[in-house]
Amino acid sequence: MSQYYIYQDQNRCIGCRACELHCKTENDVPVGASYCKIIPVGPSTTGPVPRIQFVFMPCFHCEEPWCANACPTGAMAKREQDGIVAVDPATCIGCKACITACPWGAVQWNAETGRVFKCDYCKDRIDQGLEPACVTGCTTAALKWASPSVSSNAKRERAARKIAHGKTT
């Protein structure tokens, strides 16, 4: 069962890409591949000040992972204990079926090894009781490591406060 979720607080995110850099240095990801990415979308002008969304795109670790279902060797698989989807480089044959299957573009090609690799929520850190590098190093604490249900509750509470205070931004 997928236990984890990275909640991104748009009000706190400044689009600085520290998440990407902490991910890359932690996992020694070669140039050309990124386990996570910030995609700026905007600016858009619905009010007097143009706003922008910085959409955080790690792997979402689907409950029904398209990548794992497409994998012919079982290299891509969901960890039973917590639902982290990770690839075993020893079993991967570099067929790229997972890249084709993933609707989010999360699976990355490692040009140095001819295998795929991807965000595994820094599972070695998770196993030590730590949080993923992107969350830990985030400049403004915009990323939060939480369970999906806790995150949606937090978001709902914040939205409620905004409604109560009549604030729209």
In the complex, the residues that contact other proteins under the rule CB under 8 A are: 11-12, 14-18, 20-22, 24-26, 31-32, 42-43, 48-52, 133, 136-142
With respect to other proteins, which residue has the nearer C-beta, 149 or 169? 169
- Give the residue with the Cβ less far from other proteins, 62 or 142: 142
The closest of 124, 119, 125, 92 to 107, measured between CA atoms, is 119
Distance CA 121, CA 21 (A): 14
What are 162-169's contacts with CB under 8 Å, separation 24+? 168/47, 169/47, 169/51
Cβ 65 to other proteins shortest distance, Å: 27
Q: By the 8 A CB rule, do 38 and 139 touch?
A: no
Where on the phi/psi map is residue 74: left (φ > 0), alpha (ψ -120 to 50), or beta?
Answer: left
Of 63 and 124, CB closest to other proteins: 124
Cβ 96 to other proteins shortest distance, Å: 22
Instruction: Report in angstroms how near the CB of residue 38 gets to other proteins at its nearest.
Output: 9
Contact 24, 153 (CB under 8 A): no
Nearer of residues 68 and 138 to other proteins, judged by Cβ: 138
Rounded least distance, CB 153 to other proteins, Å: 18
**For 48, what's the count of Cα atoms within 13 Å in the CB-facing half-sphere?**
1
Nearer to other proteins, 86 or 142 (CB): 142
Q: How far apart (Å, rounded) are the C-alpha atoms in residues 155 and 6?
A: 13
Shortest distance in whole angstroms from residue 83 CB to other proteins: 25
User: Which 3 state secondary structure label does DSSP give 153?
Assistant: helix
